[in-house]
Amino acid sequence: MAVDATQFGIWEAGPGFDVDVDEVFLVLAGSGTVPFEVGSTIELRPGFLVRLIAGDRTTWNITERRRKLYFSWPGPFVQ
């Protein structure tokens, strides 16, 4: 679904590789880790709020199928 240029919705998926867009998501279900090509890793658990930056290269190591509520938008994130 989209409002103006902001996309949002529920996403469910298993393991895989991704080049990310600007996105904020809340983990609703599932678990795993997301290592970034630059060397850092985040953990996924229900209730975790995560921000991804456009161009980040990630690998999703999912140990329990994940479901997330996401918001993404075109262009740079303004702080």
pLDDT beyond 80 at 78: no
Predicted local confidence at residue 18, as pLDDT: 75
Cut 0.95: pTM above it = no
Evaluate if residue 70 carries a pLDDT over 90: yes
User: E strands of 20-73, at which residues?
Assistant: 23-35, 41-44, 49-52, 57-72
How high is the pLDDT of residue 3?
65
Report pLDDT digits (tens) over 12-67: 988 777 777 889 999 999 999 999 888 899 999 999 999 988 888 888 898 898 89
Closest listed residue to residue 11, CA positions, set 58, 72, 79 = 72
pLDDT at residue 14, as a whole number: 80
